[in-house]
Structure 1
Amino acid sequence: MQTVHDPAISSYYVNDELYRNLVENFSDWQREELAIAAPEVRDRFRLLLEREARLLDELRFDEWLAMYSPECIYWVPGTPEGGDPRREIAVSFDDRRRMEDRIYRLRTGYAWSQAPKSRTVRMISNVEVFATSESAFRMVRSNFLISEFRVDGTRFLSGWCGHRFVERAGRWEIQVRQVNLIDCDRNLRNPSIVL
Structure 2
Amino acid sequence: MLDRPLSPPPVEVIVAVTQALHREARLLDNEDFEGWLAMLGEDIGYLLELKSRRFRADRSKPLPLGPGVIFNEDLGRLRLRIDRLKSGYVWAEDPPNFIRRAVSNVEVLATRAENEVQVHSVLVMHRNRIDGTTRLLTAGRTDLWRSEGSAWLLAAREIVLDHAVLPDSNLNAFF
Q: TM-score range by the shorter chain?
A: 0.7 to 0.9
User: What is the distance in 1 between the residues matched to 2:143 and 2:166?
Assistant: 25
Aligned length: 162
Deviation (angstroms), 1:116: 2.3
Higher percent of residues as helix: 1
Give the direction of change, closer, same or farther, for the CA distance of 1:35–1:161 in structure 2 (3 Å limit): farther
Deviation (angstroms), 1:80: 5.5
1:162 aligns with 2:121: no
**Range with greater deviation from structure 2 (98-107 or 163-172):** 163-172
1:140 aligns with 2:119: yes
User: What is the distance in 2 between the residues matched to 1:49 and 1:80?
Assistant: 27
Q: Which residue of 2 aligns with 1:53?
A: 25
User: What is the distance in 2 between the residues matched to 1:72 and 1:137?
Assistant: 13
Residue pairs, 1:166-177, within 5 angstroms: 166-177=146-157
The residue type equivalent to 1:55 in the other structure is: L
Deviation (angstroms), 1:38: 4.4
Q: Which residue of 1 aligns with 2:84?
A: 105
User: What are the superposed Cα offsets for residues 96-132 of structure 1, whole Å, 9 maximum, x if unpaired?
Assistant: 1110000101122132331221111111111111111
Q: TM-score, normalised by structure 1?
A: 0.75
Question: Is the Cα–Cα contact under 8 Å of residues 45 and 156 in structure 2 kept in the other structure?
Answer: yes
Deviation (angstroms), 1:78: 1.0
- Runs of 4+ aligned structure 1 residues displaced above 3 Å come to none
Q: Which residue of 2 aligns with 1:10?
A: none
Deviation (angstroms), 1:76: 1.1
User: What is the distance in 2 between the residues matched to 1:43 and 1:80?
Assistant: 34
Deviation (angstroms), 1:41: 2.5
Q: TM-score, normalised by structure 2?
A: 0.83
Structure 2, unmatched stretches of 5+, are 54-63
Deviation (angstroms), 1:93: 0.8
User: What is the distance in 2 between the residues matched to 1:37 and 1:66?
Assistant: 24
Deviation (angstroms), 1:143: 1.0
User: What are the superposed Cα offsets for residues 56-86 of structure 1, whole Å, 9 maximum, x if unpaired?
Assistant: 00000000010001111111121269xxxx9
Give the direction of change, closer, same or farther, for the CA distance of 1:123–1:75 in structure 2 (3 Å limit): same
Question: Is the Cα–Cα contact under 8 Å of residues 118 and 193 in structure 1 kept in the other structure?
Answer: no
Structure 1, unmatched stretches of 5+, are 1-21
- 1:70 is paired with a residue whose SS is strand
Return the structure number with greater relative CO, CA threshold 8 A, min gap 6. 2
Aligned CA RMSD, in angstroms, stands at 2.1
Residue identity (%): 29
